[in-house]
Structures are given as C-alpha cells and as structure tokens.
Amino acid sequence: MSKNREERANYYLYIDGQAVPVSEQVYRAYRHYERKEEYFSYDLKTEKFQKETATFLPSKEDSYERLLEKDRQFAASGVSVEEQAVSSVWLAALLQRLSEDEKEILYKIYFEEKSERIVSAEMGISKTALHQRKVKLLQKLKNYLENMENS
C-alpha cells in the first residue's frame, strides 16, 4: 500500500450513513467549518461563566423570541405619541374630503398594495378609468396638503 492510500484510509466523512474515505486536508476543512457553524448557531447565543474570574458573560447575540420570554421592552418607532395623534387627526380630516370610491381606491392601491389591474377588476371599471381616478385623487390630496401648509 502506498503512503497516500494509508493516509486516506485514516480519514472518513459520513455521508448519508456511509463512510467515505477522504484526504486529511478535506477532513480538516470539513471539521473546521462544522465547528464554525456550531459557534454561530450555538456559542454566540448562550451565556456562560468564565472559570478563572467567575464573571458572567452575556451572549453576544440573542433571539427575538428569547427576549420576549424575558419580558424585554423594545424602543418604539421614532414617531412620538404627539406626532401620531396629530397624524391621526390630520388623516381623519383628509379622509372626510374623499368620496367612498376615492377611499376605496386609496385603500386598495396604497394600503393593500394591489395593482391597478387587480383593483380595476374588483371595482368593475377599466384600468384606464381607474388610473385617471387615481391621478385625480392624488392631485386632490396634494392640493389639500398644500392648502393646509399655507393656512
């Protein structure tokens, strides 16, 4: 038996339950990346104590679910409560100026994120007619907002 065959015979990877002989280089690379995967999937996400100093090291990474289990609070979005209140009053005043059809178009296209083709089919009008209504609606909203700024 040659030296290469002796070296290969000592290293095996198990693939689908079968031992496959590999070179030492392939074996070491496989083990290295296997350990790396373990590090990222487990080691970073668990806390541990250091043996020498008995200090607690928190995990470097944590899952959202685990933080929720610990009743951790998260910062709210950057919009303050006051801004949200003003926005809701402003939006209500804006919606009062729209007809039911305009509200439906606005809701379906911008909130439900449906295409004009789908909305036109749902409303029973042509795509061209829907597009023209949408353009008029956006112009109406723009004019209203500009008037609000000026007053």
Q: What is the pLDDT of residues 60-101, one digit of tens each?
A: 666 777 777 777 776 666 777 778 777 788 788 888 888 999
- Are 37 and 93 in the same domain? no
pLDDT at 83: 80
- Are 89 and 45 in the same domain? no
Q: Which two tokens stand for residue 73?
A: 């609070």
Q: Which residue has the higher pLDDT, 44 or 5?
A: 44
Calculate mean pLDDT across residues 6-17.
72
* Count: domains in the chain: 2
- Are 85 and 130 in the same domain? yes
- Are 38 and 91 in the same domain? no
Sign, Cα dihedral of 44, 49, 51, 55: positive
CATH of residue 113's domain is: 1.10.10.10
The per-residue DSSP string of the chain comes to --HHHHHHHT-EEEETTEEEE--HHHHHHHHHHHHHHHHHHTGGGS-EE-TTT--EE--S---HHHHHHTT---PPPSS-HHHHHHHHHHHHHHHHTS-HHHHHHHIIIIIS---HHHHHHHHTS-HHHHHHHHHHHHHHHHHHHHHHHH-
pLDDT at 127: 94
- Are 49 and 87 in the same domain? no
Calculate mean pLDDT across residues 2-31.
76
Is residue 92 domain-resident? yes
Q: How confident is the model at residue 7 (pLDDT cuts 50, 70, 90)?
A: very low
Q: How confident is the model at residue 8 (pLDDT cuts 50, 70, 90)?
A: very low
Q: How confident is the model at residue 14 (pLDDT cuts 50, 70, 90)?
A: confident
pLDDT tens digits for range 90-148: 788 888 888 999 999 989 998 899 999 999 999 999 999 999 999 999 998 888 888 87
Q: Which residue has the higher pLDDT, 21 or 91?
A: 21
pLDDT at 104: 92
Domain that holds residue 120: 81-150
